[in-house]
Amino acid sequence: MFDSEFSSIEFAGMKLANRFAMAPMTRVSAQANGRPNELMVEHYKRYAEGGFGLIITEGTYPDQEASQGYENQPGLADALQIEAWRPVVKAVHASGAKIIAQLMHAGAQMQYNRFDKQPLGITEQKPVGKPLGLYGDQEAWHDAKKMDESDFERVLNGFLHGIRNAAEAGFDGIELHAANGYLLNEILSTHFNTRNDKWGGDMQSRAQFLLDLVKAAREMVADDFVLGIRLSQITITDPDYQWPEGEEGFNWLVQALADAGIDYIHTTDNTTERPALKGGTRSLAEVVRDAGIPQIVNGGIDATNYAKVAAHYPGAILAIAKAALGDPQFVNKVKAGKEPDALNFDMLQPIASLETEMRWRRQHGRE
């Protein structure tokens, strides 16, 4: 039994102050060279002080090749970026929270990259819809270069490089971003992955790269360094995508990731309950719960439903994005029975940067 979502909990080898996590949120506010700045230190610290027991950083690029996806996105690809993350990690730890770095490769969803002009994709396939104005100006997706055999090795080594750097910067662990349409998610998706070599085909073949990466990472890092993964079926521009293998295929993937050495699985969807899988009756999060794997659940959690979600997923961490953006004091407030401030989307317009948010907060007395 778990006392309360506000009590401390052992999760994936970490002792967390409670079951609330700040969900990963891209804020395109690092320096042009990918180093976090003072504003980012203050930003993450605010959420740790606001009561979140776990902070998951925004998607961060691990290499100096095609992984960066946005202008002013932070990286964990070089020594100076490692140095610049240290004050963030220190500030979060000083407030009693743990911090996980989310590592992402933009794949075909690249909107800006300082090193490679062309996106790298599992095939040449473009994402559906249009690029996100929230993270910078771009009218249409660029053509992706289809990964060849050497690219698989380079991407794998790039992730391992980023993971080593995250450990060096003092993070408690990393989360592989295999959700929302970025490269590791594209590899699993039959919209993108139509390859007929060993990397394409059924779920087992499409998952092979991810499993190789998890195994290699597990062998490389210390036992107490947390290795998580974030999975979604839908992407930021394609809310309808479904894996053809349905619930059975996802259940296989979840077990295979656990066997490969993953410490937790973080699922994201519109809600934590939606039976999203083809022909299935359970949500992504329910499949992970029923498999008995440490999990983070995300999607639509707010002040009105968090207790219900916590009860439905015993022992799970609740990751909160939009409701947290609305009020960084979310956890402290709901714990005290107070109503948190709601998110006003103007705070993220025209671009979702911290400067835009701070300007809006000053203007509206919500600092």
Ligand X SMILES: Cc1cc2nc3c(=O)[nH]c(=O)nc-3n(C[C@H](O)[C@H](O)[C@H](O)COP(=O)(O)O)c2cc1C
| Binding residues vs ligand X (CB under 6 A) | 23-26, 58-59, 102, 177, 179-180, 230, 268, 298-301, 320-323, 348, 352
Q: Which is nearer to ligand X, 71 or 244 (CB)?
A: 71
Beta carbon of residue 196, minimum distance to ligand X (angstroms, whole number):
30
135 counts as catalytic? no
Report the nearest approach of ligand X to the CB of residue 264 (Å).
Answer: 14
**Of these residues, 61, 70, 135, 182, which one is catalytic?**
182
Residue 324 Cβ, how far from ligand X at the closest point, in Å? 7
Shortest approach of ligand X to residue 117 CB, angstroms? Answer: 22
User: What is the smallest separation between the CB atom of 215 and ligand X, expressed in angstroms?
Assistant: 22
Q: 14 vs 178, which CB is nearer to ligand X?
A: 178
Please give, one letter per residue, the 3-state secondary structure of the chain: CCCCCCCCEEECCEEECCCEEECCCCCCCCCCCCCCCHHHHHHHHHHHHCCCCEEECCCEECCCCCCCCCCCCCECCCHHHHHHHHHHHHHHHHCCCEEEEEECCCHHHCCCCCCCCCCEECCCCCCCCCCCHHHCCCCCCCCCEECCHHHHHHHHHHHHHHHHHHHHHCCCEEEEEEEECCHHHHCCCCCCCCCCCCCCCCHHHHCHHHHHHHHHHHHHCCCCCEEEEEEEEEECCCCCCCCCCHHHHHHHHHHHHHHHCCCEEEEECCCCCCCCCCCCCCCHHHHHHHHCCCEEEECCCCCCCHHHHHHHCCCCEEEECHHHHHCCCHHHHHHCCCCCCCCCHHHHCCCCCHHHHHHHHHHCCCC
Closer CB to ligand X, 57 or 95, in the complex: 57
Q: Name which of 147 and 236 has its Cβ closer to ligand X.
A: 236
Nearer to ligand X, 248 or 341 (CB): 341
Residues assigned a catalytic role: 182
